[in-house]
Structure 1
Amino acid sequence: MMAAMENAIEKIKVWFRFVPREGWFPQDIEGLWATRLSADTAVVENVPFLQDGVAEGDIVQFQTDSDGLHWAVGRVSSAGNCTVRVVPVPSGPLGRSPQAVHQRLAVFQLGGEVMSTDFPMVAFNVPADADFAGIKALLSQGQDDGWWHYEVGCGTDEWWNA
């Protein structure tokens, strides 16, 4: 019985299409792992590096094309989590080290993924119950001190008001 239950949890890749930003990455799509909930909805299971307006834990709706690819068509609900991306300044005190970025933010126990060794951006999932004010203060201080650049890919009202 247990094996049958585990097989019912289907991991799929949901693809997002967007307009590439000037001076950013040339990609115009990003695939995020998700757990299928129904024929056209899934829960996002990883942190987006490029797609804005979605965070880990959000439920998205998708359409499946004739090639079997699942394309996001919108967000159904938010988990309350936020997405923050941090890029260390190569000439700054952290160098090109994503580990140093993780270390600086370790006090907040955020999960994150590193884009690549070529581009050491860390995409963090900031849980709904995290210390938003403390995280925002540290991100601003780190940017002011030349440690990193950062952006908020997905923020909630609670994030913006903290």
Structure 2
Amino acid sequence: MWTVNSMTPTGPVAAEGDRIKVWYRFVPREGWLPQDTEGLWATRLGEDTARVENVPFLQDGVAEGEIVRFATDADGVHWAEERVEASGNCTVRVLPVPSGPLGRSARAVHERLAPLGLGGEVFSEELPLVAFTVPADSDLGGIKALLVRGQEDGWWHFEVGCATAAWNDA
């Protein structure tokens, strides 16, 4: 899946049925993107809970599949408040090194990680950052080894935006 994630809340953002956007606020990192919010698609489960349905590019500490509690403001924007239930999934972000063997190709990054069962989303053509959901039942050790090897070989830089105990122990 290759999509671009909207980074600015603009009022009620509800799609058909129970799909909503849940927004996160954070302090932008120095030297990184200037955004201070990120909206994640979610499936509403109750009056103030939803399951996150896509991988975050910027927000740390959350992964696809997690159940979160949100509050809806006067403009109808749903703001994340807390995680209610962890999914067991991890979030990994990979940015290809422009001068490396993969160039600026988000597709090449995806092709290297897809055989390990990872699906990702790309931030934009201008910024080929790929955010991956690492399912709880993945070969965590194999994924970590490939990420480290790719970084050492100059293919990419990576960061883990949401880790589990199993990820840390792998």
Please, what TM-score do these two structures have when normalized by structure 1?
0.94
What secondary structure is seen at the aligned counterpart in 2 of 1:62? strand
How many residue pairs match? The answer is: 155
What is the rounded CA distance, in whole Å, between the counterparts of 1:101 and 1:64 in structure 2? 37
Match of 1:66 among 69, 74, 89: 74
What secondary structure is seen at the aligned counterpart in 2 of 1:143? helix
The 5 Å alignment of 1:1-150 reads 9-150=17-158
RMSD, matched Cα: 0.9
Shift of 1:9: 4.5
Shift of 1:107: 1.6
What is the rounded CA distance, in whole Å, between the counterparts of 1:9 and 1:138 in structure 2? 39
What secondary structure is seen at the aligned counterpart in 2 of 1:112? strand
Gaps of 5+ in 2: 1-15
Partner in structure 2 of residue 3 of structure 1: none
What is the rounded CA distance, in whole Å, between the counterparts of 1:107 and 1:34 in structure 2? 26
What is the rounded CA distance, in whole Å, between the counterparts of 2:84 and 2:74 in structure 1? 23
Q: Which is further off, 33-42 or 103-112?
A: 103-112
Partner in structure 2 of residue 4 of structure 1: none
Gaps of 5+ in 1: 1-7
Identity of aligned residues (%): 71
What secondary structure is seen at the aligned counterpart in 2 of 1:135? helix
Please, what TM-score do these two structures have when normalized by structure 2?
0.90
Shift of 1:133: 0.3
The structure having more radius of gyration, on CA atoms, is 1
Shift of 1:106: 2.0
What is the rounded CA distance, in whole Å, between the counterparts of 1:156 and 1:127 in structure 2? 11
What secondary structure is seen at the aligned counterpart in 1 of 2:124? coil
What secondary structure is seen at the aligned counterpart in 1 of 2:81? strand
What is the rounded CA distance, in whole Å, between the counterparts of 2:18 and 2:112 in structure 1? 35
Deviation string 1:19-44 (CA, Å, 9 cap, x unpaired) is 00011110000000000001110000
* Structure with higher helix content: 1
Shift of 1:101: 0.4
